[in-house]
């Protein structure tokens, strides 16, 4: 039996608490826990797989135009794929989304190819004007997600919550 | 059939249904053919018109959502056809103005000028109702069916280029708020309420 990681349950509870009932995603390994918990325990949340992160943001924009509060989940590597959608659609039209990013390239990374974008995630968010926050502990995940979601939908900008590897990757797998 | 005439035909046919327009000439022509609050004009995000329409169709199953895209734009986001084919919203209609060229950027050939078949791609990815049309009559007939019969629809309209004579409003937030109100879901922040 798979044990639900506390942080992953927190992501689900947080996005649900902020009123999001539709998650558009490109999967990665840690996010698979979130997707499984949504499937098992949040039957009112619909998930849509996108082929690419930029597409996910297009779908999210349409969901918002229809009155929904979309969440987009991706790995940090996919932020690069998303930039044109963010900078020429969501930001200028003031279309909000809760963005949950599973980090690569931060402390614990083993793959060189993940490091440059991992390092750039926060500066990119700052450069294009997206508020962002980083989950510090498994216990605070739900509240951190809820708060950045509240900021996103309240101020009508995409708001970013980063899930660092120290949170999402079990200690024995970091070795 | 040229694009502006076909766009006029579309606007006349759809009554109050929302239309999402890809940036550049498809959006310019949609404005020229008939500006209406239920038009969502994009000013960037090339390739994403079909994705925006898909999200809207999923959020609002009671609406029939039309998208006017270009061949070059759809080629930039071909994965969208796979997502449309998988999620299969019956209320989604994608119209591709296929002029076999990047019309907004000077008329360079797209791959559809050299054999790429976007209707075949849509069908291969799971779109259940598709057509390629070359005349105004055939286009009108396809739109009439797409308004009534379940989709997802992908209609590839082979059109000639028609130099646009007008541009839609520039204010992106205005476009969004006007659109959301027109489809019956005004943006919360525009409404006010209890203190």
pLDDT of residue B110: 96
What does the pLDDT read at residue A1? Answer: 58
Q: Does the distance separating the beta carbons of A62 and B52 come in below 8 Å?
A: yes
- Separation CA A86–CA A59 (nearest Å): 12
Between positions 90 and 119 of B, the ones with CB within 8 A of A are none
What radius of gyration do chain A's Cα atoms show? 15
| Mean pLDDT, rounded, for B157-162 | 94
Distance between CA atoms of A169 and A115, rounded to whole angstroms?
A: 16
- The count of other CB atoms within 10 Å of the CB of residue B112 is 20
pLDDT by residue, tens only, chain A of 175 residues? 578 999 999 999 999 999 999 999 999 999 999 999 999 999 999 999 999 999 999 999 999 999 999 999 999 999 999 999 999 999 999 999 999 999 999 999 999 999 999 999 999 999 999 999 999 999 999 999 999 999 999 999 999 999 999 999 987 665 4
Strand partners, B101: B109
Q: Which residues pair with B96 in a beta bridge?
A: B69, B156
Kindly report the nearest CA distance between residue A57 and chain B, in angstroms. 8
Helix axis angle for B172-182 and A53-65, nearest 10°, is: 50
Residue A53: φ, ψ to 5°: -65, -40
Percent of chain B at pLDDT exceeding 90? 91
Q: What angle do CA A26, A166, A41 make, to 5 degrees?
A: 50
A65/B contact by beta carbon, under 8 A: yes
Positive or negative, the CA dihedral A105, A106, A111, A116 is positive
Closest chain B CA to residue A47: B87
pLDDT level of residue B165 (50, 70, 90 thresholds)? confident
Six-digit token string for A106: 């931060």
Instruction: Fill in the DSSP letter of residue B160.
Output: B
pLDDT at position B195 is 83
Q: What is the pTM of this model?
A: 0.97
ipTM (interface pTM): 0.97
Residue B162 is predicted with a pLDDT of: 85
Unique residue bearing structure tokens 């090339």: B46
In contact, A23 and A38? CB cutoff 8 Å: yes
Task: For residue range B55-75, list pLDDT tens digits in order.
Answer: 999 999 999 999 999 999 999
| Chain B residues inside the 8 Å CB shell of A93 | 172-173, 175-176
């Amino acid at each position: 039996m798979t044990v639900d990681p506390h942080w992953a349950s927190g992501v689900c509870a947080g996005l649900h608490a902020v009123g999001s009932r539709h998650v558009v995603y490109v999967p990665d390994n840690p996010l698979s826990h979130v997707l499984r918990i949504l499937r098992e325990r949040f039957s009112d949340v619909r998930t849509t797989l996108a082929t690419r992160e930029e597409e996910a943001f297009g779908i999210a924009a349409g969901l918002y135009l229809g009155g929904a509060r979309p969440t987009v989940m991706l790995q940090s590597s996919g932020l690069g794929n998303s930039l044109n959608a963010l900078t020429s659609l969501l930001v200028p039209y003031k279309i909000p989304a809760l963005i949950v990013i599973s980090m690569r390239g931060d402390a614990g990374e083993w793959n060189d190819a993940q490091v440059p974008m991992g390092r750039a995630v926060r500066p990119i968010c700052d450069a294009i004007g997206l508020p962002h926050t980083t989950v510090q502990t498994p216990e605070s995940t739900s509240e951190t997600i809820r708060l950045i979601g509240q900021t996103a939908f309240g101020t009508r900008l995409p708001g970013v919550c980063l899930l660092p590897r120290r949170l999402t990757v079990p200690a024995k797998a970091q070795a | 059939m040229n694009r502006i005439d076909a766009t006029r035909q579309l606007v006349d046919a759809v009554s109050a249904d929302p239309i999402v327009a890809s940036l550049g000439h498809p959006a310019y022509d949609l404005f020229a053919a008939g500006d209406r609050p239920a038009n969502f004009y994009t000013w960037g995000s090339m390739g994403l018109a079909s994705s925006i329409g898909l999200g809207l169709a999923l959020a609002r199953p009671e609406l029939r959502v039309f998208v006017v895209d270009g061949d070059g734009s759809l080629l930039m986001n071909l994965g969208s056809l796979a997502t449309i084919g998988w999620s299969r919203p019956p209320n989604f209609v994608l119209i591709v103005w296929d002029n076999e060229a990047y019309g907004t950027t000077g008329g360079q050939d797209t791959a559809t000028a050299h054999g790429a078949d976007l209707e075949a791609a849509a069908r291969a990815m799971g779109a259940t109702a598709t057509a390629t049309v070359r005349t105004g009559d055939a286009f009108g007939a396809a739109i009439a069916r797409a308004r009534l019969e379940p989709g997802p629809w992908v209609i590839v309209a082979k059109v000639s280029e028609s130099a646009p004579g007008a541009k839609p409003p520039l204010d992106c937030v205005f476009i969004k708020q006007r659109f959301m109100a027109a489809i019956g879901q005004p943006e919360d922040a525009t409404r006010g309420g209890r203190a």
